[in-house]
Amino acid sequence: MTNSIEEIENADCIFVIGSNTTENHPVIGTVMKRAVKKGAKLIVADPRRIELADYADVFLQIKPGTNIALLNGMINVILDKDLHDREYIEERTENFEEFEILMREYTPEVVAEICGVDPEDIVKAATLYAEADKAGIYYAMGITQHTTGTHGVMSISNLSMLCGNIGKESAGVNPLRGQNNVQGACDMGGLPADLPGYQKVFKPEVQEKFESLWESKLPNQVGLTLPEIMDEAEKGNIKYLYIMGENPMVSDPDINHVRSALNSLDFLIVQDIFFTETAELADIVLPAASFAEKDGTFTNTERRVQRVRKAIEPVGDSKADWLILMELMNRLGYNKKYLHPSEIMEEIRTVVPQYGGITYERIEEEGIQWPCSDLEHPGTKYLHKSAIARGRGLFMPIDHRDSAELPDAEYPFIFTTGRILYHYHTRTMTGRVEGLNKISSESYVEINEVTANKLGIIDGEMVELASRRGKIVTKARITDIIDENILFMPFHFAEGAANYLTNTKLDSIAKIPELKVAAVRIEKVGS
């Protein structure tokens, strides 16, 4: 997030797109509701009528995969009404002229046809956003899990810069991270092109810096993303795989492909706190300690580095992940030893500029938001205050492009996935909580009531869904919160898993699979 969670409450306008915030980030969703109660305008764009839509001044129920068209349409309105921040654009951005030429093509009428919404609602949403003094945009995987996901994020940045909302309190561009430490994992080099601190593996000076620190030779080539790893494993080009805290046999697209890839390996290690669906395929399973059994830090969605402390000693043979990794690297010949996670944090802050001033002592009581360059630095509440990181913000003229797979006669429905409030990711932990399972214990598919009537499907009845990649049987849930040609499933459940159906086509830049749009058919079981 460019900005902080607490800032949301003082925003004049909140634009939520591609995020079911009250279910997936309920704390942030609560702050948004408080902001609305204080007078903030709320715009919500989503293929489903999510809970936040009931609080919205404008709700845009867009067709899945049309985010860019909607954003371009709002930009068109703002330009047409001369509501853009000319001074900000002149002083802090570049490439506006080329960008404006393309945006003029995306009239509300053109966009309404693409997105399936009322053109007047596009005008109203754009006007509310542009006229607000402090307007923040909040998004999640409803933006990124498309073949156009990177361009979707760029389009959000375009809209924000157009109105001078980057580098401003209670505004900004704010991705809501889906996992408790996914921000920290990325900060520490959990990306194929990065070493810790987003320092690129292919830069000679970066390679030299880390080779000196670790006294080892390092590769300088960009690695593979998880979908690419699965492709190469299935081809036989990857022989060994080490999976930590991940359950791709439920969470990844085209599970049949995932199973084939993992079974093609010579050797699979899985490190986890429970025996997951992926662990069932492993040659060796290493028992990791849970969050309650280890010390360390988490870095949350607002870039806040926070201490976590173990409540109990690890149960049985389980160990903290860092201990397992250290013992493994020692046995492989690298003899560096750490006695406590605080020693690792000291090493981090010597090589990661954003973490330079963060120590265990400083975050003992309260976390600090990076960048924090030195021990005197208070941390950074919001980014780009004085200047955008690259110098000037770059406007990107981006066209709408259809999803990789669209409905046809054989597969006539758009299938999309997401999370629900009661479960987390693949239910590795939440699926073991009796109270949560009483509320939601099994897979289901949401079907519009008109569609259900046409197909003779009754609420609670078992149905079969099929895509070009697989079939599943699940329970029908009849609803009026989605359109007639849309089907929605939560992806948490291993039985009747949504990801048997999802598409592996990737965003060409970020290599994220298009989990949010696939073409499927549905019928009653036995019909």
Over residues 453-458, the mean pLDDT reads 96
In a domain, 380, yes or no: no
Following DSSP, what letter does each residue of 51-68 receive, concatenated?
A: GGGGG-SEEE-PPTT-HH
In a domain, 395, yes or no: no
- Whether 29 has a pLDDT exceeding 70, the answer reads yes
Q: How confident is the model over 329-387, as pLDDT tens digits?
A: 999 999 999 999 999 999 999 999 999 999 999 999 999 999 999 999 999 999 999 88
Write down the pTM of the prediction: 0.95
Over residues 163-170, the mean pLDDT reads 97
| Domain encompassing residue 343 | 178-223+289-374
- Whether 26 has a pLDDT exceeding 90, the answer reads yes
Counting the structural domains of the chain, the total is 4
In a domain, 382, yes or no: no
- Whether 173 has a pLDDT exceeding 70, the answer reads yes
Q: How confident is the model over 6-21, as pLDDT tens digits?
A: 999 999 999 999 999 9
Looking at residue 527, what is its pLDDT?
63
Task: Tell me the three-class secondary structure of 121-190, residue by residue.
Answer: HHHHHHHHHHHCCCEEEEECHHHHCCCCHHHHHHHHHHHHHHCCCCCCCCCCEEECCCCCCHHHHHHCCC
Q: Rounded distance, CA 261 to CA 184, Å? A: 28
Domain of residue 21, CATH code: 3.40.228.10
- Whether 303 has a pLDDT exceeding 70, the answer reads yes
Residues 241 and 304 grouped into a single domain = no
In a domain, 12, yes or no: yes
Q: How confident is the model over 241-267, as pLDDT tens digits?
A: 999 999 999 999 999 999 999 999 999
Mean pLDDT of the chain: 96
Residues 11 and 155 grouped into a single domain = yes
In a domain, 396, yes or no: no
- Which of 326, 359, 374 is the C-terminal boundary of a domain? 374
- Which of 287, 302, 332 is the C-terminal boundary of a domain? 287
Looking at residue 179, what is its pLDDT?
73
For residue 96, give the H/E element and its range: helix 96-103
- Which of 313, 345, 374 is the C-terminal boundary of a domain? 374
Instruction: Calculate what percentage of the chain has a pLDDT beyond 70.
Output: 100
